[in-house]
Structure 1
Amino acid sequence: MRLLIVALLAPAGCAAPWRPDFDRLESDVGLAAARYPALALEPDLSGTLDVETLLAAARARNPELREALARTRAAIEEVNRAGALDDPMLRYRPWAVPLDRAYDLGAAEMNMVGIEQTFPFPGNLSLRGEAALRDAEALHQMYREKEREIVARVRKAYAEYFALSRELEIRAAHMQILDEFEKTSDSKFRTGKAPKQDVLKPQVELVMLRDEILALEQRIGSARTEINALLNRPPDAALGKPAYLAPAEERFEMKELAATAVASRPELLAAALRIKSSRAGLALAEREATWPDFSIGLDYMQVPGGDDAWGGMIGINLPWITGKRSATKRKMEHTARADEIALEAARVRVLAEVHAAFLRVEAARKSLLLFRGEILPVGRESVDVSRSNYEKDKASFLDLLDAERSLREIEVRYERTVAEYESARADLERAVGVDLRRKP
């Protein structure tokens, strides 16, 4: 009896082989929680903005990210729960109370007080803890996945905000140019060198530009709202102007990106951990369907008018009778297979995301080179030549206006391409699962 009790208690007191992994997870999650122990104060973002400031605020305040961290911490407590024994049972039993004195416990022939504890078969408790640990580690990886998602969304929202702000500046600058054109045309009209149409054309163009600016201001407001939502701020909270966005335009190799994604993408790491969890659950189910749990009890017996005594008990469950344990085993077999398929599906999806984002980055990078090397210089030269020819009466005002309008659209498209490059790069970094930006 004594040897049996020692054998059952020994596994509960020994450190589980997965304990170092649990300690490491607790440390990692604790560090993340310590960085942001509570909802950070709302930052003052009314000055000139840069994306790193927004990212720091998002990491501290974004509710989706804080929720994911809280769920990870809850899963850590589930590991503690799963790896612990069930509560012991304390019982009291009055014995042989006369029916005519049913409520007189003092008339009982014997009063028994006992305690009972159930012990899983040796090794089962460790497997329960391991399955819960792998689930907690998977949730921690999904927290990291959510962080990568929030980072990408902030970068993309900032790129959109930058592009719209730059477009507003470009169109405002071209309004000043059109004002100059109008004055030049009016001067030539007064001297009889230009028709009235040359005076009216810039006026019409100015009205159209004002309408475009009104639409841009609305879109900028929507971009601010999106950024504020990511930072858990009121929709109308003040945001300053974005700092100039200079794309790094680094070149990437698809093969290296794919290898990095397979090794580093948190979603894939989480899927692999779920497989470990289901395999531990399957091993547990197989053992529980084969080996019984044990219950041990000890009783103290108080005998009125006689000698007090003690008694003990030992019992086992019978997992082979109802088929419940066998069904659990089959369930875990299917679950393990499903988790393996889920990892395969996630890997295919991640590689597709990496490839799609890589193509977007490359296309935007090449477009930027084309804009800087050819399109922008030609557009600016065209305006300069048209203006000079118009002032010398060698070109019509319509030629000048078309050249100016083309340059305006070229400059807007260039800024949109800058934003597209940054947006595509943000998607690429999320797909790969790591920051691809070179540190200064």
Structure 2
Amino acid sequence: MGASVAGLLDYARSRNPDFAASTLEAGAAQARVDAAGALPDPRFQVELMDFTNTMNGRSTSLLPGQVGETRYRVIQPLPGWGKRDLARQAAEARAGQADAQRETAWSELSAEIGAAWLRYYGADRELGLQRDALLVLQGLEETALSRYRLGQLPQQAVLRAQREITAQRIALLAAEQRRKGLATALNGLLARVPDAALAEPADPPTLPERLDFAELVERARQRNPGVLTETLGVDVARAQREQTYRERYPDFSVGFTHNRPDEGKASWDLMFEVMIPLQQGSRRAQEREAEYMLSAADARRAAVANRVAAELGAAWAAYASGLESLRLLRGTLLPQAEATRDATRAAFAGGRADFDGVLEAERQWIEARTALLGAEVDARMALNDMEKLAGETK
């Protein structure tokens, strides 16, 4: 756990409570599809006619069969034509939107885990660089002490080396604390205890040399979970609008009544009921609301698509800049720092350079390696953002 992002994502998919909640909500929305479009439950009525028994001279009663007449009625409401189909279509649209929201939640979570792992990776590699730097400075201290004993270096050089070692130990302690804090944050995203053990991060895959921005934008338009969610939101608003317009037409009810008089023969009645859509003013207001909601959903979709394209452009520019920085650091600055360090060491061994020059050359070499690591992490963070925006499922 912790060696790669893939293992962390597998763990989070089954353990993260936020993603579990999104999955359960999507399941609930899918279950509502089966209920949508079903007929309303029938109603059963018992009507006691002349329960005071005025006509037959008996005492008042509330028991069926002991009143003037008992009527048993079953009423089945029937929605107007097409309303049940529209209700099911609206529920299916909401279920699709819930699925898209679940994918959006997973995209956000996986990107957040990927970014946290990259920071953890950077802190781990920085800690290694700080340890290497401490070993180099300790070696210089030994060289300075040996030359000081021979009278070839002043005491100030030894003190300078020891001061650099102290500063490097402080930097090493800060790097250790930073790595520990980032490991705690990563465990938090995985719903693990804060001090759970994490393995040393392995080297991530090689960065791609070139990415086609136009292709990324097209993939984002088709696969970005946020854009898909808002697109399905337009479908939901459209279905709700159709339902609202359908309310112009009446609903119906059918009823069967069994009449059982105290004296005489039982009989059956058939009832047919029509709801009169009389309140047209309120319906027109609801229709205007539905039209506004559809326009708002379409505007939200366009806004999200534009925002995704802008964020993708910023991430792509950051990635391109990071690759260029890596090329310069790896191909120019780091070799120059190594050459300067080696030349200064050789000159110091031959008595042609002072100790301060050696320390400065070593510091520049350490700073170049640290800058290279920082540029790599920045480029990988930008790539992680592009994968999220382009809808790359992890």
TM-score range, shorter chain: over 0.9
Q: Provide the secondary structure at the position in 2 that maps to 1:323.
A: helix
CA distance in 2, matches of 1:365, 1:151: 23
Among candidates 36, 51, 69, match of residue 82 of structure 1: 36
Which AA in structure 1 matches 2:350?
K
Asked if residue 423 in structure 1 is aligned to residue 377 in structure 2, the reply is: no
Asked if residue 58 in structure 1 is aligned to residue 17 in structure 2, the reply is: no
CA distance in 2, matches of 1:394, 1:377: 22
Q: Provide the secondary structure at the position in 2 that maps to 1:107.
A: coil
Shift of 1:207: 0.6
Tell me whether 322-331 or 156-165 shows the greater mean CA deviation: 322-331
Among candidates 5, 23, 36, match of residue 69 of structure 1: 23
CA distances 1:63-119 after superposition (whole Å, capped 9, x unpaired): 221111111111112222322222111111111211651435443121111211111
Cα distance change, pair 321–50 in 1 and its aligned pair in 2 (3 A): closer
Asked if residue 380 in structure 1 is aligned to residue 338 in structure 2, the reply is: yes
Shift of 1:322: 6.2
Asked if residue 334 in structure 1 is aligned to residue 292 in structure 2, the reply is: yes
Asked if residue 163 in structure 1 is aligned to residue 132 in structure 2, the reply is: no
Asked if residue 302 in structure 1 is aligned to residue 256 in structure 2, the reply is: no
Contact 1:247–1:418, Cα closer than 8 Å, also in 2: no
Specify the alignment match of 1:39 in structure 2.
none
- What's the TM-score once normalised by structure 2's chain length? 0.95
Specify the alignment match of 2:270 in structure 1.
312
Contact 2:61–2:67, Cα closer than 8 Å, also in 1: no
CA distance in 2, matches of 1:265, 1:372: 34
CA distances 1:185-204 after superposition (whole Å, capped 9, x unpaired): 11111111111111111110
Which AA in structure 1 matches 2:139?
E
Among candidates 266, 270, 280, match of residue 239 of structure 2: 280
CA distance in 1, matches of 2:346, 2:186: 44
CA distance in 1, matches of 2:256, 2:280: 29
Which AA in structure 1 matches 2:258?
Y
State the percentage of identical aligned residues. Answer: 30
Specify the alignment match of 1:243 in structure 2.
202
5 Å matches for 1:266-277?
266-277=225-236
Runs in 1 of length 4+ with deviation above 4 angstroms?
none
CA distance in 2, matches of 1:249, 1:402: 35
CA RMSD between the two structures: 1.6
Q: Provide the secondary structure at the position in 2 that maps to 1:101.
A: coil
CA distance in 2, matches of 1:329, 1:313: 32
5 Å matches for 1:336-415?
336-415=294-373
Aligned residues: 389
Asked if residue 254 in structure 1 is aligned to residue 213 in structure 2, the reply is: yes
CA distances 1:383-433 after superposition (whole Å, capped 9, x unpaired): 111111111111111111011111111111111211111111110111111
CA distance in 1, matches of 2:373, 2:177: 18
Q: Provide the secondary structure at the position in 2 that maps to 1:49.
A: coil
Contact 2:107–2:391, Cα closer than 8 Å, also in 1: yes
Contact 1:128–1:284, Cα closer than 8 Å, also in 2: yes
Q: Provide the secondary structure at the position in 1 that maps to 2:198.
A: coil
* Structure 1: gaps spanning 5 or more residues: 1-44
5 Å matches for 1:63-142?
63-98=17-52, 100-142=59-101
CA distances 1:339-381 after superposition (whole Å, capped 9, x unpaired): 0111111111111111011111111111111122111111111
CA distances 1:32-58 after superposition (whole Å, capped 9, x unpaired): xxxxxxxxxxxxx3xx71221112112
CA distance in 1, matches of 2:63, 2:199: 81
Contact 2:124–2:179, Cα closer than 8 Å, also in 1: yes
CA distance in 1, matches of 2:22, 2:195: 26
- What's the TM-score once normalised by structure 1's chain length? 0.85
